[in-house]
Amino acid sequence: ALFESGMYEYDSKMIFLSLTDAQDFLSLGDEVTGIELKVNDIHKSDKIGEIIQEELGYPYWTKDWKMMNKSLFSALKLEKVTMFIILTMIILVGALNIISSLVMMVMEKTRDIAILRTMGASSKSIMSIFIFQGLFVGIVGTLLGLMSGSFLCYILARYKFIKLPPDIYYITTLPVRIEWLDIVSIVLAAIIISFIATIYPSWQASKVNPVEALRYE
């Protein structure tokens, strides 16, 4: 019978058959060329391999799954760092949009700000208004992006639309899994950057001189 594991490297080279049949086919007699072990904690496979290597000694050697797929994991780490940089740049572009929007609003609302100041509004309250407005825009945008991104990840994980060349990536479809720690980190970073982006325009609004602003009104 044929089966597919989803990993090209295994599907193209691996077969399952009984030990005696394999020994007869390869003329090994009672010998074996290797023993594969399954451990309870896959993250300790390298340490377990070292212990076995010390016990057996030369000419036997061990190789764990991390070592066998070292190049693949290195590529995935590099890919994750690249995606993080791209995502950070996108967030920074959004922050610049918040800054420019608030600066434009301060320029348009200079007269209104001056009137509020003459009515007794403090610089702190004026600054708080614009910080709240910028944060509101940032939080709403972050939540909309979170919902749409999570929905897209769910669709990709369920229906596996994106196909990959198996001879390059060792898998046939793009694996998608939602990592809540990454999501929380991204959301917090977006909100913090949004808050930082509001500081300068809000400070600029709080420094409006009501006398100068209303001189020609």
Give a yes or no: residue 181 inside a domain.
yes
Same domain for 33 and 88? no
1 or 121, which is more confident?
121
Range of the domain at 167: 70-214
pLDDT (tens digit per residue) in 128-153: 999 998 899 889 989 999 999 999 98
pLDDT digits (tens, 9 = 90+) for 24-76: 888 888 888 888 888 888 888 888 888 888 888 888 888 888 888 787 778 87
Say if residue 155 is in the same domain as residue 105: yes
Specify whether 113 is located in the same domain as 163. Answer: yes
Q: Are residues 130 and 194 in the same domain?
A: yes
- Name the band, by pLDDT with cuts 50, 70 and 90, for residue 6: low
User: What is the number of domains present in the chain?
Assistant: 2
For 196, residues 6+ apart whose C-beta sits below 8 A from its C-beta are 95
In whole angstroms, give the CA distance from residue 72 to residue 49.
20
The DSSP string of 54-114 is HHH-TT-----HHHHTHHHHHHHHHHHHHHHHHHHHHHHHHHHHHHHHHHHHHHHTHHHHH
Residues 57 and 96 in one domain: no
- Cα 85 vs. chain centroid, distance in angstroms? 10
Q: Is residue 1 part of a domain?
A: no
Q: Are residue 207 and residue 114 in the same domain, yes or no? A: yes
Mark whether 106 and 195 lie in a shared domain. yes
